[in-house]
Amino acid sequence: MISGPSGVGKSSIIDLLGRRRTFRFSVSATTRPPRPGERHGVDYLFVDRAEFEALVAADELLEWAEFGGNLYGTPRRPVQTWLEEGEDVLLDIEIDGARQIRVTFPTALFVFIAPPGLEELRRRLEGRGDTSESEIRIRLERARRDLAAAPEVFDALVVNRELERAVDLVDALIGSDGRVDHADTR
């Protein structure tokens, strides 16, 4: 489980981690419209609100939460199948979803990626160029709240000061955690 404010560099960390380790990445369903370059089925399953609500009603989501006015959720079946097959699964979800996953998979490893500071996070969000000023403000406020709540939900906090170093730290955390081989599901 990897979580952290948007703009903190989670996707880059996950991409680089994928070069060192084998794991399945859970592709979330979302009602957020695709950003340029994002692909359906790869980055997200882009659905409308009715489709999302149907997934919730059918209990097809392991967890779901609202973020920035959009709904996001983790499809249950792929995760269940992978865990049954003994594969490692990585989720990149926000903190309310992480709380729900904590209940379902209490022994999973929960890592929160933090920015070196909120000003740095603002710079990164602005630099990304795909997030409006009002959205940036909402996301910074949300980041402040999540940072304060992180110790409650997460096992470890990694500051993304320098990308390779952050990947080293996440890699070491997974490596040192014997439980991450999903002994609980076998």
Summarize as ranges the residues that interact with ligand 5GP (CB under 6 A): 6, 28, 32, 63-65, 67, 72-74, 92-94, 96-97
Residue 28 Cβ vs ligand 5GP, minimum distance, rounded to whole Å: 3
Residue 178 Cβ vs ligand 5GP, minimum distance, rounded to whole Å: 26
| Between 65 and 89, CB nearer to ligand 5GP | 65
CA 169 to chain centre: 17
| Between 25 and 87, CB nearer to ligand 5GP | 25
Count of residues making up the chain: 186
Residue 92 Cβ vs ligand 5GP, minimum distance, rounded to whole Å: 5
Do 87 and 70 touch, CB atoms closer than 8 A? no
> What DSSP state is assigned to residue 184?
G
The owner of tokens 């269940």 is 80
Residue 132 Cβ vs ligand 5GP, minimum distance, rounded to whole Å: 13
| Between 69 and 178, CB nearer to ligand 5GP | 69
| Between 132 and 186, CB nearer to ligand 5GP | 132
List 111's β-bridge partners, or say none. Answer: 2, 156
Do 45 and 27 touch, CB atoms closer than 8 A? yes
List 74's β-bridge partners, or say none. Answer: 63
